Structure 1
């Protein structure tokens, strides 16, 4: 059984400091998790007007079960190449990589906050396989553009409690909870409880869920736009989640780490980038290396198209990226191969 713990500013896996004694191009990896955003492994779409967009090119139809089967089949190679963790979501992420409107229905929950059985089953298969392989799972609960499908704040609280109770009672010890993705973007969420100034209430709610004396480790993620963290979240969260998207250069990631550590009320805890769409893996100076050098875990985010500023949506081509649906979960592109080749350099 795989387990994840926090020891001060470090992550520990299976009772040992994560990546203890290992380096990547001379950068110490002690206590850090090399991770990737694989958010749509349980994706589905209940909207008959949009589901056709995700059709596989060989069949002409969308198949949620196939998507998860292919995710499962790819996982052993990710682990063999050196991946430590991945982020997956109950409500997934934009199946267009980036998008302005989200008419599809990938809610994952009923309007009252009950976890839908199909999502529960697909996520369980992924979490079980991660446990077998020794991979840590960062489980995101809410995603903007889908949270409005839950009726009200009691429904949000029920959803959080139901997910946490399910994980705990399943006996999994390798799951970290991310309440919601990018809570500090003002237009992202319908419900105020998920936005930056109140999301700490949901973090506390998740932490209050226990089973046999155990609770889960909980956080929520922030964009690189101000505020990159709030004092309330910093005080309540077990670890810090931030994103590198939209940053002007690698040095900004190191600045963000220092700003977090200088925030009033900061106490030592791990800092993790679990989404960054900047690559340049062949260069001596890039986002990944800068974050790791600053003592922060780093996560690869390949949206499925060339990164643009501002980002533009793309229809998945079953080849590029790890978010635009349908997703090819193998490392079948130059960009994906460059990431996993970089992981294999860790010694």
Structure 2
């Protein structure tokens, strides 16, 4: 039986009817109702390309998808103790190199026709259950640009959405939020229905199929105004901060600061007060008096940590780079979780 019910009321997230971080404020800013998260896109993935899966080998053995998920689940209590309430997964993963235009691996939880692969749903079910037991939320992405071509056509894309919704309803889970696609305004999606111009059709499909039991959105870079149709159909909003440079941009007049980005999203004629959640941002500066995380909080938005292993970094670095060390074991991870704990007032 599900223990964790995520909902939205008055522009705020609630778990089991109680606002998240209830009563909490930080430096005069309201924390209650936020959904702080971390991108863990590859927590349930496997690679079906035999020529690339060897690249993900552990120091002590071959790549093992079940081990990857098992070690991720083992670290969930530590994340939760620092105040993290949501983890972001994707059924087509995310680049194990952080950013890479050439992606020869085959990481996809769907068949070409859009059916769900049982091994993937087996791992996903374990993650959802573990999060449910901890009072945590899973933000589940369906499509990732460079892997979207694994689905053969638009019919398969729609089938994939339908199969995911039906599977979730069949399990009776209540702690999952759906993200149709990752950064659907990037020109990398093979099927036009997933792109920013038409993704609202898939959001509508998921919401109707979900019978009001699932909250649905999609993520966008959208430095300026996001598509009004997306804003109108989404239950919550998912901007990304990867191409934003600084809390207020390089200069106060820059159009690409976090505070200005949030303001532009809220200024959309279609905005109706939905909560705004950054669920991917690779700008840190956690030790500085101002950074993307703080700017989002001060703007009334939740923020999400995107961490990948840079060149010459160690196994301990990066939550997206395969194989993953899921421990809070690097300076960057410790800095994020330290600031998160301060902001949320988590722990003793």
Question: TM tier, shorter chain?
Answer: over 0.9
Distance 1:138 1:279 in 2: 21
What are structure 1's unaligned runs of at least 5 residues? 306-313
- Asked if 1 retains the 8 angstrom alpha-carbon contact of 2:219 and 2:239, the reply is yes
- Asked if 2 retains the 8 angstrom alpha-carbon contact of 1:36 and 1:275, the reply is yes
- Asked if 1 retains the 8 angstrom alpha-carbon contact of 2:223 and 2:261, the reply is no
1:222 corresponds to: 220
User: Once superposed, what is the RMSD of the aligned Cα atoms?
Assistant: 1.4
1:203 aligns with 2:203: yes
- Give the SS at the match of 2:183: coil
> What is the count of residue pairs matched by the alignment?
334
- Give the SS at the match of 1:12: strand
Distance 1:116 1:315 in 2: 34
Distance 2:26 2:103 in 1: 38
Distance 2:98 2:312 in 1: 8
Distance 2:166 2:130 in 1: 20
1:265 corresponds to: 270
Distance 2:28 2:74 in 1: 32
2:87 corresponds to: 86
2:114 corresponds to: 113
- Asked if 1 retains the 8 angstrom alpha-carbon contact of 2:180 and 2:216, the reply is yes
1:192 corresponds to: 192
Post-superposition CA distance 1:222-265 (Å, at most 9, x none): 01445x52000011111110101121211211111111111122
Distance 1:315 1:137 in 2: 31
- Where in structure 1 do 4 or more consecutive aligned residues deviate above 4 Å? 314-317
1:101, distance to aligned residue in structure 2 (A): 1.1
- Give the SS at the match of 1:145: helix
1:233 corresponds to: 230
TM-score (norm 1): 0.93
Post-superposition CA distance 1:21-43 (Å, at most 9, x none): 11344432011111111111011
Distance 2:223 2:309 in 1: 22
1:342, distance to aligned residue in structure 2 (A): 1.2
Distance 1:58 1:181 in 2: 32
- Asked if 2 retains the 8 angstrom alpha-carbon contact of 1:316 and 1:326, the reply is no
1:2 corresponds to: 4
What are structure 2's unaligned runs of at least 5 residues? 249-256
TM-score (norm 2): 0.93
